[in-house]
Structure formats: C-alpha cells, structure tokens
Structure 1
Amino acid sequence: MNEVTNVLPEIKIGIMPLTDTAPLIVAQENGYFAKHGLSVSLKMQSSWASLRENLHKGQIDCAQMLAPMPFESQLALSNQAQPVITPFILSKNGNAVTISSSLYREITKKLGYPPLLPMCASVLKSLIKSYKRQGRKLTFAVVYQHSCHYYQLKSWLIAGQVNPKDIEIVIISPCNITAALAAGDIDGFCSGEPWNTIAAREGSGYTVVAAPDIWSNVPEKVLGLLSTYYEAHKAEVFKLILALIEACQWLEGTANRFEAALMLSKSCYLNTALENIAPSLIGSGIIHRDMMPRELAKYHQFYHLHQELGNSPDIGYGARILNYMVEMNHISSIQAKRCNIAKIYRADIYQSAMAMLFEQRLARCT
C-alpha cells in the first residue's frame, strides 16, 4: 500500500526588501511557521502598490503592509474598497530621513557649521527661499503616499515651521530610491532601512533624522489579509500569529538580531551586504560613511518585553494612524469618525490566538 502524505496548503505572504521584514523572515528561517504546522512561502514584491494589488486579487494570502494600508483599502482611497484587516503589529519605528550630500553641504555652508543631529527641518527654510527665487523646489521622495514615511516627513517639516507645500514630494519604490538620490533626481527621502544606511555607506546621502526623533511607538508594518481569508482560514491565521510572536520575542536579543541580519542578507531576501542591515537592527544609526553613527536604541521595535499586548493591533494604535491620515488631508474627519477601527485593527483575532497559546501551555503542564 502506498503511503499517504499530508500536504499542507501553502500560505503565500507578500514581503518587501526591508530590514523590518525581520519577523517574517525569522519565522521562516528559524522554523517557527513549520513548528506550528504551517507551510509558508515568502513572496518578494517590487513595490507597495503591487503588493496591495496582489493581496486584493488573491495572488498572495497575507502581506507585510504599511500600517495605514488596511484603512486605505477599506476606505477605497486608491481603488475599489477591499476588506483588508490586520490582526498583528509586526514592527514600530524603522524609518529615517536621508538628504543628499550636496544638500548637506549647502546647509553646512549656509549655517557656517554642520547641522546638529537629529536635524531640525528649520535649517531648510533659507534654502527653500533661495530655490523659490530660482523657480525650483526641494524634492523629497517617500515610498508610498498612504504611509508613515509620508506622515513622518510632513510632521518633521511642520515641526521645523516649514510649509510642506514648499517641498515637492514624489513617490519612488524602496528599491529605486537610493539610485534617485545618487543621480540627483531628489534632494532627500524618507524610507525604511536598509535604504538609508545604503545611501550613507555609498556617500550619496546623510541620514539626519530617524522615526523615533519625530514620533515614536506607532505601528509601522502590520500583517495584512482579507477578512474573507481570515473567515475561511481562522486556525491558520491563529498559528501565523503564534509563529510571529515567537519570532518577535527572539528578535529581542542583540545577538539574535545580528543573526537575523545574516538571514536578511541572503539573495532571496534583501540581497545586500550585512553591513547595510545589521547597524539599524542593533540600534546604530549610520549617518554617513565618514561620520560616527548615532545610538538609536528604539530604531526597530518588534516586541515589547513583559507586555503581552505589544503586538496587538489595539484600537488606540488604529486611532493614531487615522488621526495622521486626517492631519495630512488623506481623509476627512467625517470619514475617520465613520471608520469602525475595531473591524480593521482586529485585536479580537490577536486575543483569540493568545487564548490558543494559553491553552497549549496549559496542556503541556498537565
């Protein structure tokens, strides 16, 4: 008689080539998905827009998403409304603003000394006036419009009393953003790692301010999926959450983070040198290849030690994201009030997974 082999249905998860993809890659490489009886395939995406569309069309089952993207999908800000939800916060912080070396030199010349770090956007004001007389604007890039990168960049400008309308803001995918800076197509960008570190190491840019300097403890990446997928695969989603909790907990150790950097550097993932990935993971903010790094202990946050709800997509987190979307005129206050946060940021699913974990631990003790 032939043996019957149980083939697990594969869960396709879309990811982007970013350092804060670490929880998903660690869960795969350390065998946490397999431990929980899951067969997972990580699918690298070329841009946030294509990732979003692939999730909407069912070409991937789940995705590493920007924290505002579930709201974007539900509110039909980019195309038809889709019931995207998140049951898990993958990371907080992780972004930075990098300016071109030529802009850094211009600022230094205007001030008579290098700008203090973290750099206040107010140092751009005199240059903006000079550029306006020449009929041009400073151009900054972000990787996606409905993103914390966009909101952090504008928040940084506003805090420095710079009118964001005086800056041209363009959208460039993460993979192309450092090349655009090196070519002089843009004067700066706000992106996740490792792209800031790559620009600094190449000498084309100076990383002058990081997300924790602007606003901190806000969800950056979340696990996104359609609510229809969740309803059809509840057990698998719970197991995904349990595997990701293990990965996020493992990432608390500095030595483990260095090991994670080795995983991420593989050609199938970020495909870049270890020296571009490791620094931000271990709290070292590379400014420029000729400068000492900044200490940034909270550059990447994946798990809050001693806080069981650290990765829970609580309503408070969702409300904060919505507030930024209102402040930056992406949605109206009426849209925000009508938005049922608890139906999008699904803390209830996270809590059900935690209950499942508690039952597993109880069973092992009896």
Structure 2
Amino acid sequence: MSVFGSSKVITHSKPVRVGFIPLIDCAPFVVAHEKGFFSAEGVQVTLSKEASWASIRDKVAFNVLDGAHMLASLPIAASLGIGTVKTAMETSFTVSHNGNAITVSNALYQKLLSNSNGPEDIRSGAALKRLLDKKEPTDPALRFAIVYPYSSHNYQLRDWLAQAGIDPDKDLQIIVVSPAQMVDYLKKSEIDGYCVGEPWNSLAVEQGVGHILVTGYDLWGSTPEKVFGVNSLWATQHPEVYLAMIRALNHACQWVDDKQNQAELLTILSHPDYLNCSAEQLMYGFNTLKPKGQFDWPMEAYQRFSGVDINRPLPNYALWIMAQMSRWQQLAQLPPLNQIVEQVYRQDLYYQALGLARPEEAGRKISEEQENAFLTAVATNRVQLHPDGVLHGLRF
C-alpha cells in the first residue's frame, strides 16, 4: 500500500519509525500514512506492526522506534520507570477517547445470570461478587485478561471490581494477553473474561463466544485511550518533524471521524498489514453495525478521534492515572505529580503545532502538600471522575 507525494520538505535524514498495535484506534496513524498526510507535511514515516504494548514500550525506549501509537498511560509509566528501564517519554497529541469494554465467556455469563436479580447486578459486578462469595477454596480462580499492567484496561477492570467489593489481587487472577489473542483465549477457556479495546469485544459477541458486560465509558465517562507517544530525546532532536507529525495526525483524526470516509477507512484498516480482518467485522467498532447479541453499546462509548477536547493532552487524566498506579501499589515512590504532568503531557507543543492560542490551564493543579491526601482519597473512592469524563474534571 502506498502514500501520496510530499508537498513540503523537512530536513530529516531517515524515515520516522512509528509502531502500532492492530486495534481500531491505530486508524489515525494508518490513515496519515496511507492518505499522504505525513508526506504532505514533509515527513517520511515507516509504520511497524507490533505484537504487544511491552514491545512498543521497549522499542521506543531503546530507539528502535522513534514513537508509537501508545496507551495514554504508557509514557507516564515509562517516564516513572515502572515495569521498565526509566526512559523519558512524552505525548503532545491524544489520538482517541473510549472504545474499551469488559467481556466475559458464555460459561461465566450463565453463572452471573444465576447469581443476579436483574441486568444491573451483572453490569455493576454485584452478581460476580455473589458468585465469588460462594467459591470453595478448591475451586479454580477466575482469570481475567488485560492488555498491559499500566493501562486503562487494567485500571478500569480493577475499579469496576473494587466498586463491587471484589479485591482484584485476592479474589481472582489478572493476567496479560495481547489484544488480538483475547477472543481465542476466551474460546479455549484459558480466561473467563477480559477488558480490551474494540473490535475484540464486539467480535466475541458476533462469534457467539462472549457477552459484553459494561463499557469503559460506563465506568469512567469519556477519557483518553491512545496517544502519539515519543521518546523525549527524539522529540528534542527533531522538533520540526515532531510538530509536523502532530499536524498530520490531527488531519488524519478529522478524516477518520468523517462518516463519508468510513467505507474507505474500513477497507484500509482491514488490510493484512494492519488489522487483518474483514471490513464487516470492523464495522462494529464504528457504530455502523450492531453485533448480534445481547449488548447495545451506548452512543457515547464509541471511539472519538477528533476535536480540541479529544486531541489535546489532558493534565487531569495524567493525575488520575498516576493516582491509579499508586492505588494499586505499582509505585514505590512518586515524584511531584504536577512535575510529571508537565514533562509528559505536553499541551504547549500541541497548541504550538496547530497554531492555536493556548487557553488558561484547564488541568487541575494540586500542591505538593495536597498530593498524599489526593492519592489517599482516590484509593478510598473519595475522588471519582466526572460522570461525563475527565474533561469535566475530578469530583472530590
């Protein structure tokens, strides 16, 4: 597959190496490449399909890749040095919001039905809590899969379980499985459920092997899911290229959200180089076709790709993610929260790249004196995201 010719020239000796995971929300990277938006900004880009977020993390850390389609939490985790060699990473552009869900196997769903007083018990986790309370010591532990330990999927799953009174670390097992393997693992009964992005939830329903219980939007409202993350050293060395890529991705996100382009978009994404599945299967993730089954995604839960409120980095979300890392004992020590927010979530470069006037800081600032109280409040459920999402702030 090919791209169009460049209309601008930026002095850069070699292509920018960008990794991606085959998920629907890699679409802006693929579109920017295929539709010539990168080359129109004078940038050569080589896309590299990766198998896991750990691969993305390590290759960006060790300069095999310059940047990547990343979990919104990954640049934070890498910059803090948790789960990997400490490497300064940053993002100046959010690629997408939403798209996650919690899905369980047919066998587990039937058990939940037997322990529920109605659909809300299943969606809230109350039925799962009752099932676990009846578990005998000799019964095998339920196994839920996530895509990465430092991901929204992990934190959303844990938050959902905790709200139901379930201890994620004692009452069941949580393991890491790559997104593309989730449905197969469910089919083989190697896992009982998972939290993952689209299309892997809808495909489980469509293939008759799983049931979607709740979306990430139901849990947290509209929140960032993927970003354009880069090695900070690379960003410092190639500032013009970095800003040009932000402009290209901004153009691509607008193109992706334009319904007139959807048929072409699905054709592009379905190619073996990218998601390697049929265009019909991908339609589930774009509110074009409903999966055959019991679940109807709320309109707000579908992925959103464009708009200032979607694409600019949100400091509130960085604060929220670090609080989740602390809540689930992933951090032994945490530097000043605002310092990490400013180093990793670069709103200044977002506005610079797009030539927009930077408004007054929208993100919540907390003093060093307030940080411990803030982290404790999150861990004890006294701080929640606004029901409509992190854009509207945190509720204390």
User: Which TM bucket (shorter chain)?
Assistant: 0.7 to 0.9
Do 1:150 and 1:190's aligned partners in 2 also have CA atoms closer than 8 Å? yes
Partner of 2:354: 354
The CA RMSD measured in Å over matched residues stands at: 2.5
Q: 1:298 to 1:73 in 2, by over 3 A?
A: same
The equivalent of 1:43 in structure 2 is 48
Partner of 1:187: 192
Q: 1:259 to 1:282 in 2, by over 3 A?
A: farther
- The answer to whether 1:143 aligns with 2:147 is yes
User: What is the aligned partner in structure 2 of residue 331 from structure 1?
Assistant: 331
Match of 1:340 in 2: 340
Give the 3 Å change call, closer, same or farther, for CA 192–8 of structure 1 in structure 2.
same
Matches of 2:303 and 2:231, distance apart in 1: 26
Select which of 297, 302, 305 maps to 2:300: 297
Q: Is 1:225 equivalent to 2:230 in the alignment?
A: yes
The residue that corresponds to 1:281 in the other structure is 286
Query: 1:128: which partner in 2?
Result: 132
Q: Which residue of 1 aligns with 2:21?
A: 16
Per the alignment, do residues 198 and 352 of structure 1 end up closer, same or farther by CA in structure 2, a change over 3 Å counting? same
CA distance 1:313–1:204, change in 2 (3 Å): same
Following the alignment from structure 2 to structure 1, what is the Cα–Cα distance between the partners of residues 33 and 341?
Answer: 30
1:247 match: 252
Name the CA distance, whole Å, in 2 between partners of 1:357 and 1:34: 26
**Offset at residue 145 of structure 1 (A):** 0.3
The one-character-per-residue Cα deviations of 1:174-231 (angstroms, maximum 9, x if unpaired) are 1222111111111100011111122112211111111111102221111111111011
Query: Partners of 2:217 and 2:300 in 1: how far apart?
Result: 9
> What SS does the corresponding residue of 2:311 show, helix, strand or coil?
coil
**Are 2:102 and 2:195, in contact at CA under 8 Å, matched by a contact in 1?**
yes
Q: Give 3-state SS (helix, strand or coil) of 1:65's partner.
A: strand
Superposed CA deviations along residues 120-173 of structure 1, whole A, max 9, x for unmatched, are: 111101211233444332110001000000000011112223222312111111
Amino acid in structure 2 at the alignment position of 1:142: I
Could you say which residue in structure 2 is the equivalent of 1:110?
A: 115
2:274 to 259, 266, 269: 269
| Superposition deviation, residue 309 in structure 1 | 5.0
Question: Counterpart amino acid of 1:105?
Answer: Q
Is the 2:113–2:122 Cα contact (8 Å) retained in structure 1? no
Determine the C-alpha separation between the residues in 2 that align with 1:50 and 1:36.
Answer: 28
Q: Which residue number in structure 1 is paired with residue 378 of structure 2?
A: none
1:357 and 1:342 map into 2 onto residues whose CA distance is 18
CA distance in 2, matches of 1:157, 1:91: 25
Which position in structure 1 is the counterpart of 2:123?
A: 119
What is the match of residue 310 of structure 2?
310
Task: Verify the 8 A CA contact 1:313 1:347 in the aligned structure 2.
Answer: yes
Q: Give the Å deviation of 1:285.
A: 6.0
One-letter identity of the residue aligned with 1:316: N
Matched-pair contact (CA < 8 Å) for 1:258–1:278: no
Unaligned 5+ residue runs, structure 1?
359-366
Whether the 8 Å CA contact 1:144–1:171 is kept in 2: the answer is: yes
Q: 1:290 to 1:222 in 2, by over 3 A?
A: closer
How far residue 258 of structure 1 moved from its aligned partner, in angstroms, is: 4.1
2:35 & 2:18 partners in 1: Cα distance? 16
Q: Quick one: structure 1 residues 268 and 351, their matched pair in 2 at CA, closer, same or farther if it must change by over 3 Å? A: same
Asked whether the equivalents of residues 62 and 223 of structure 1 are also in contact (C-alpha less than 8 Å), the reply is yes
| Runs of 4+ deviating beyond 4 Å | 5-8
- The one-letter code of the counterpart of 1:217 is S
Corresponding letter in the other structure for 2:351: Q
Equivalent in the alignment of 2:165: 161
Aligned: 1:99 with 2:107: no
Cα distance change on mapping 1:310 and 1:172 into 2, 3 Å:
closer
Q: 1:338 Cα shift?
A: 7.3
Percent identity between the two aligned chains: 31
SS of corresponding position for 1:119: helix
Paired residue secondary structure (2:355): helix
What corresponds to 1:364 in structure 2?
A: none
The 1:155–1:333 alpha-carbon spacing in structure 2 relative to 1, beyond 3 Å, is: farther
SS of match in other structure, 2:161: helix
Q: Is this contact kept in 2: 1:284–1:293, CA < 8 A?
A: no
Residue 355 of structure 1 and its aligned partner are, at CA, apart by 2.1
TM-score (norm 1): 0.88
Render the CA deviation track for 1:10-58: whole Å, top value 9, x for unaligned: 1110000101111111111221111111111110001111111111111
What secondary structure, in the 3-state scheme, does the structure 2 residue paired with 1:186 have? coil
Partner of 1:205: 210
Kept in 2: contact 1:82–1:226 (CA 8 A):
yes
Q: Secondary structure at the match of 2:283?
A: helix
